[in-house]
Amino acid sequence: MGAPLARRLLSAEHDLTVWNRTAERAAPLGAAGAAIAATPEEAASAADVVITMLADGPALEAVAERIAPAMRPDARLIEMSTVGPAAVRALAARMPTVVDAPVMGSVDRAAAGTLTVLAGGDVDRVADILATFGTVVRCGELGAGAARKILLINAVIGAVTLTADLAELGAGLGVPDPLDLLAEGPLAGAVARIRAAGADFPLGLAAKDVGLALDVAALPVLDAVRERLLKAPDQEADLGKVLK
């Protein structure tokens, strides 16, 4: 997700410095006009705005530990990872101004600038940057965006998994084109996600996001969904390919 977001910033003519935990992944952005930093400290030290988009809480914590002392006192941090509100508030305790801004949508929508950005905290100071990525929904206080993301992403994951099971049921019952039939009802959005060609949401990350929900409450249905996702042989496969 970080790469298409970076390209959106470049297309809006922002001065951009990038760093990736896997160095070679940053190279195409250098070719597109971004400066490439050798360390996260270097990337953050001169920035007015720092954006983090990382896979999970431990990754965010590891990077935050390095960039926190390097950031300027007047800098702003936009945290776009899916890590939950508790992690965002912990981050705010050690950083300058923090805005949580996780997104709904995959790499296809990131590239097109049509994400839904769920923003919490002092959004005004970074609203123009967030608008580069898509439609900004102001959710309230710090952590509110992260909370909404956990709710909404689990609705997507649960619905896609249910749709996959129902399609299998339909095939077993001899129903022709069960996905077409399901697309006519309340699971139309899940069918569209399964059929999306440009999306990329690895099953391993989907299971992680369900885990964030289970950290908050005992949720038997989502617990079963997470177990199913974790048992899939290819954790890098896209969620929409769960039917395969």
Same-domain check for residues 61 and 121: yes
Hey, what are 181's tokens? 């039939």
Domain final position from 101, 126, 141: 141
Domains of the chain: total: 2
Residue 215 to residues 222, 223, 224, Cα–Cα distance (Å): 11, 11, 14
Same-domain check for residues 41 and 155: no
**How far, in Å, CA of 137 to CA of 172, rounded?**
42
Hey, what are 106's tokens? 């995959």
Q: Tell me the pLDDT tens digit for each residue of 159-176.
A: 999 999 999 999 999 999
Hey, what are 126's tokens? 């970074």
Question: For each of the chain's 244 residues, which pLDDT tens digit applies?
Answer: 999 999 999 999 999 999 999 989 999 999 999 999 999 999 999 899 999 999 999 999 999 999 999 999 999 999 999 999 999 999 999 887 999 999 999 999 999 999 999 999 999 999 999 999 999 999 999 999 999 999 999 999 999 999 999 999 999 999 999 999 999 999 999 999 999 988 899 999 999 999 999 999 999 999 999 999 999 999 999 998 876 5
Domain final position from 80, 112, 141: 141
pTM score of the predicted model: 0.94
**Cβ atoms of residues 153 and 209 within 8 Å:** yes
Domain extent, residue 218, equals 147-241
Place of tokens 């069960």: 178
* Alpha-carbon torsion angle 112, 143, 128, 110, nearest 10: -10
Domain final position from 141, 160, 175: 141
